Structure 1
């Protein structure tokens, strides 16, 4: 990765972090604006549109990354091949840690988004995560 690509990735991360921080509030996505994200991330609005295309796609990416983070931690728990009881406790703690990190409105927005976007990859990702989690527990 060259310097330009590295800077681009860093900017994208800043935008995603800023969007997450703004979405992870009592107002959630309702009052989220590209202006606010750009200001908080200290980037131009054009950069946000260049990276994500639209506010909707930015929100989608924030939700995907949020779930991916929890899923990656769950995979690491499963790779330990601990006993069922230890795995269940660790998986439960992973979910608790995730829920403590997010605001109630963020969770409600996430669930609303999940149920309304059946055509998106997000729904398939959530279904796969659920099947994987239950499958692991039942093995």
Structure 2
């Protein structure tokens, strides 16, 4: 990376860092102003639009970086030699830690972005993110079966539909404002109990 590329990366990071902090205010997306982002990042508005093209593009990138950070940290746990239950609970803990770092409005705005269908580019990004999530979860479920922790009557397709239903339900505008951070951990605990093989003979 040459000096010009390094400076460009530093400017982009400064813009995203400033935007992340501003999006973590109670006003969230609705209160984000490019003038304020430029001032906090120490750049011009023209520089912001040069790198992110639009306010919406900047917001999308901040949210995608947030989701990617969760994914990267989750993969560090999933790649360890740990039992199925520990990995599943670790995933819940990763989400809890990241949710504790953001304002509730940030989460609400993120869910709005996650569930929207009108922006084809953003929808494609979310679809790609969901695809990666499905691949990781399928691999984890296979481990659970090998360890005898998942009732064999539950197929991958059924479990993924079940998890997808939870995600869709959580992203509903009438639901996500009421979400407690630690519900993520409770859902993981309930999932473990629900998937466990029956003790009946």
Settle same-fold status: TM greater than 0.5: yes
Structure 2 distance, partners of 1:40, 1:117, is 31
Q: Larger helix proportion, structure 1 or 2?
A: 1
Moved over 6 A (4+): none
In structure 2, do the counterparts of structure 1 residues 8 and 113 end up closer, same or farther at CA, with 3 Å as the change threshold?
Answer: same
- 1:122 aligns to 2:129 (yes or no): no
Calculate the TM-score normalised by the size of structure 1. 0.93
CA displacement at 1:105 relative to structure 2: 0.4
Aligned residue in 1 for 2:13: 13
Structure 2 distance, partners of 1:55, 1:16, is 11
Would you say how many aligned residue pairs link Structure 1 and Structure 2? Answer: 139
Aligned residue in 2 for 1:70: 70
Q: Is the 8 A contact 1:38 1:44 kept in 2?
A: yes
CA displacement at 1:133 relative to structure 2: 4.3
Aligned pairs (5 A) from 1:1-139: 1-117=1-117, 119=120, 120=122, 121-139=124-142
Structure 1 distance, partners of 2:117, 2:16, is 20
Structure 1 distance, partners of 2:5, 2:128, is 27
CA displacement at 1:81 relative to structure 2: 2.9
Computing the radius of gyration from Cα coordinates, the structure with the larger value is: 2
CA displacement at 1:137 relative to structure 2: 3.2
Unaligned runs of 5+ in 2: 143-201
CA displacement at 1:132 relative to structure 2: 3.2
Q: What secondary structure is seen at the aligned counterpart in 2 of 1:101?
A: coil
CA displacement at 1:130 relative to structure 2: 3.4
Structure 1 distance, partners of 2:27, 2:129, is 24
CA displacement at 1:78 relative to structure 2: 0.8
Structure 2 distance, partners of 1:61, 1:117, is 17
